[in-house]
């Protein structure tokens, strides 16, 4: 028995099923959401290893009569964020075939409780799979399949001996060697982010951080030795280019897996830009294969639903709870975080995610920041705008705009559902999420905003820019030629902008015709909103090119000047661990400055910049 399995056994022995008493009783009809296809989606917490609450989503036919259950095991870190909507579509497809499909986050990952840098993380992930399967069985379902994507396939296979009898198992674009996967993760971090300057027992990866003990345990997993037993049918949905790999061949032979080729996986799980796509065709093929492994007999199920759970405890014993919600006319999915003693009228921080990220933010920063703020008596709401995460139905071959008119309407509706006045609200966001936070503050007011690595400085410019990534995704020569011409004209305009008198430049910014930082900052200042801006080097260069420093200097003598902080290092996406740590301190400092003890708010070190 290797160390990972020993850790797994010790965790499983501690696995129990506590009753998670809801912090607020939520009517069942509020928690259930029916899609146009007649599929119900239910947001819930399920009991995980030890006392950890795992976030989960259940998809099932509207009559609750099912042929079986399929537990879906997600990838890790950045791949989980990229593949999130695709896994939702898989769950929708399985429910259409008559299954209860269960998606969940591993302990310490996503929205689940626990720490991502837990030394026993790998054992906790395996125990989470077992907990999800056990939850499906308690709902009255005997016939169960497990589907794992990327590292999810490796983790599920490693936990197979603890899962009981399985009807089927799908290994979707599986990670076969844990050791090779770790090398891939760490190399990708060095190439796309930077070297990790930390000298501790943790390893940075794109989208997260792992303890060195967890890295060792993950390296010890090997799917090529996987033996599911003769009663479990296995499908290996693999990329054609990996078919001849010796480890892949060995995995196929040992597991007796049926082989299916899948396409477009890079654009799905590891896109080179913020533009990603959902491979609907392959998802339908996988769900059809699973369906063929089950009979037609149905069982009525009534899964245990818990809308609120204890997710962490402060050093002084204060319990932090999170409540699953649906807010606004768009039924946006949201999670509210607060201490057990915090009221619904407490000061509230709203987190806005960027691009195709869902509510956990960059590398789980929003989750960790929300739980930290709760320890200071500040409630947080993090949510999915329409077309991301768990808001809205996943469309065929979906690709969602970053800032659509619908998203703006939905977020304004969401803010209107909060039972706190503008003076008790703050908004936190990165890139397009920062723009959305500034937009909401300009429309509804706010005590404070924290704008991280923002690039669109015009509140009135409500049409998202077309990037090269969008054009590449179109795969059209005509679109590419049009883009080249438009980019040439744009670049010429940028070269000429330095000759435009600043008052004219600012006026054009207010009209939304140019990217003048002062136009946004002055709007927020006039509304009495405390504004903190943090910029990575590439965003600082954009800020400077658009005369941002001149604008901040002009605002420095105002009653409520903005604080613009230049990090001097790090990356735009906040994948760099030092960047996230710096930003995490800024978030807490800004919240305390707005709502709490000013003496504990912003340190001299964190206020270095301009306008401070």
Residue 527: the pLDDT is 94
pLDDT mean over 540-553: 95
pLDDT mean over 103-122: 97
pLDDT mean over 277-296: 95
Tens-place pLDDT, residues 395-433: 887 766 566 777 888 899 999 999 899 999 999 999 999
Does residue 515 have a pLDDT over 80?
yes
pLDDT mean over 111-139: 97
Q: What is the CATH number of domain 325-465+515-600?
A: 3.40.50.1820
pLDDT mean over 197-218: 91
DSSP string computed for 339-384: ETT--TTS-EEEEE--TT--TT-GGGHHHHHHHHHHHTT-EEEEE-
Q: Which of 63-67, 307-311, 600-604 has the lowest mean pLDDT?
A: 600-604
At residue 477 the predicted structure's pLDDT band, cuts being 50, 70 and 90, is low
Tens-place pLDDT, residues 332-366: 999 999 998 887 789 999 999 988 899 999 999 99
Does residue 14 have a pLDDT over 70?
no
Contact 277, 268 (CB under 8 A): yes
Residue 496: the pLDDT is 59
Residue 51: the pLDDT is 86
C-beta neighbour count of 566 within 10 angstroms: 18
Q: Which residue has the higher pLDDT, 19 or 124?
A: 124
At residue 326 the predicted structure's pLDDT band, cuts being 50, 70 and 90, is very high
Of all residues in the chain, the percent with pLDDT exceeding 70 is: 84
Strand partners, 172: 149, 237
Highest mean pLDDT (candidates 367-381, 393-407, 467-481, 501-515): 367-381
Q: Convert 371-406 to b/e letters by CB count within 10 Å (16 or more is b).
A: bbbbbbbbbbbbbbbbbbbbbbebeeebbbebbbee
Tens-place pLDDT, residues 215-237: 999 999 999 999 998 889 999 99
**Rounded to two decimals, what is the model's pTM?**
0.88
- Torsion angle, CA of 20/26/27/33, rounded to 10 degrees? -90
List CB contacts of 4: < 8 A, sequence separation 6 or more: 122, 123, 126, 158, 217, 218, 220, 221
Topology adopted by domain 3-176+222-300: Rossmann fold (3.40.50)
At residue 475 the predicted structure's pLDDT band, cuts being 50, 70 and 90, is low
Q: Which residue has the higher pLDDT, 229 or 146?
A: 146
All CATH 3.40.50.1820 domain ranges in the chain, comma separated:
3-176+222-300, 325-465+515-600
């Amino acid at each position: 028995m290797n160390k990972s399995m020993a850790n797994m056994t010790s965790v499983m022995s501690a696995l129990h099923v506590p009753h998670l008493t809801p912090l607020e009783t939520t009517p069942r009809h509020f928690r259930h959401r029916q899609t146009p296809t007649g599929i119900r989606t239910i947001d819930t917490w399920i009991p995980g290893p030890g006392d950890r609450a795992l976030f989960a989503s259940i998809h099932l036919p509207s009559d609750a009569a099912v042929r079986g259950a399929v537990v879906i095991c997600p990838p890790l870190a950045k791949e989980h964020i990229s593949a999130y909507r695709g896994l939702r579509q898989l769950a929708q497809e399985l429910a259409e075939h008559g299954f209860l499909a269960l998606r969940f986050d591993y302990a310490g990952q996503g929205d689940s409780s626990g720490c991502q840098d837990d030394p026993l993380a790998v054992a906790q992930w395996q125990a989470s799979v077992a907990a999800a399967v056990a939850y499906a069985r308690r709902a009255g379902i005997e016939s169960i399949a497990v589907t794992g994507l990327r590292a999810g396939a490796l983790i599920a296979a490693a936990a197979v001996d603890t899962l009981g009898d399985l009807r089927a198992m799908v290994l979707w674009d599986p990670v076969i060697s844990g050791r090779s996967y770790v090398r891939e993760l760490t190399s990708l971090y060095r190439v796309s982010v930077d070297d990790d300057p930390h000298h501790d027992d943790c390893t940075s990866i794109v989208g997260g951080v792992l303890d060195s003990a967890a890295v060792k345990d993950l390296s010890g997993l090997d799917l090529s030795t996987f033996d599911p037993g003769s009663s479990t049918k296995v499908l290996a949905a693999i990329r054609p280019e990996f078919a001849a790999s010796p480890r892949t061949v060995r995995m196929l032979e040992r597991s007796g897996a049926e082989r299916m080729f899948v396409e477009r996986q890079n654009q799905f799980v590891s896109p080179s830009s913020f533009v990603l796509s959902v491979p609907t065709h392959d998802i339908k093929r996988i769900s059809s294969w699973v369906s063929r492994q089950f009979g037609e007999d149905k069982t009525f199920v009534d899964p245990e639903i818990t809308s609120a759970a204890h997710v962490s405890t402060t050093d002084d014993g204060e319990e932090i709870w999170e409540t699953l919600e649906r807010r606004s006319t768009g039924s946006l999915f949201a999670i509210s975080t607060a201490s057990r003693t915090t009221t619904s009228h407490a000061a509230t921080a709203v987190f806005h995610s960027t691009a195709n990220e869902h509510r956990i933010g960059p590398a789980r920063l929003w989750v960790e920041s929300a739980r930290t703020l709760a320890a200071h008596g500040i409630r947080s709401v993090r949510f999915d705008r329409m077309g991301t995460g768990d808001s809205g139905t996943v469309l065929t071959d979906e690709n969602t705009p970053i800032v659509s008119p619908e998203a703006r309407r939905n977020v304004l509706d969401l803010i209107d559902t909060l039972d706190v006045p503008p003076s008790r609200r703050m908004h936190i966001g990165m890139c397009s999420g920062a723009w959305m936070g500034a937009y909401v503050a300009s429309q509804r007011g706010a005590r404070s905003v924290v704008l991280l690595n923002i690039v669109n400085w015009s509140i009135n410019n409500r049409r998202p820019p077309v990037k090269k990534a969008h054009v590449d995704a179109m795969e059209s020569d005509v679109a590419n030629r049009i883009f080249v011409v438009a980019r040439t004209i744009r670049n010429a305009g940028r070269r000429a902008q330095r000759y435009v008198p600043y008052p004219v430049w600012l006026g054009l910014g207010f009209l939304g015709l140019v990217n003048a930082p002062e136009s946004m900052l002055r709007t927020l200042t006039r509304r009495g909103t405390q504004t903190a801006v943090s910029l990575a080097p590439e965003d600082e260069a954009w800020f400077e090119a658009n005369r941002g420093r001149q604008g901040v200097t002009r605002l420095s003598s105002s009653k409520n000047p903005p604080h613009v902080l230049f990090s001097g290092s790090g990356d735009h996406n906040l994948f760099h661990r030092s960047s996230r740590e710096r930003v995490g301190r800024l978030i807490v400092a800004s919240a305390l400055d707005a709502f709490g003890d000013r003496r504990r708010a912003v340190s001299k070190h964190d206020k270095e910049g301009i306008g401070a």
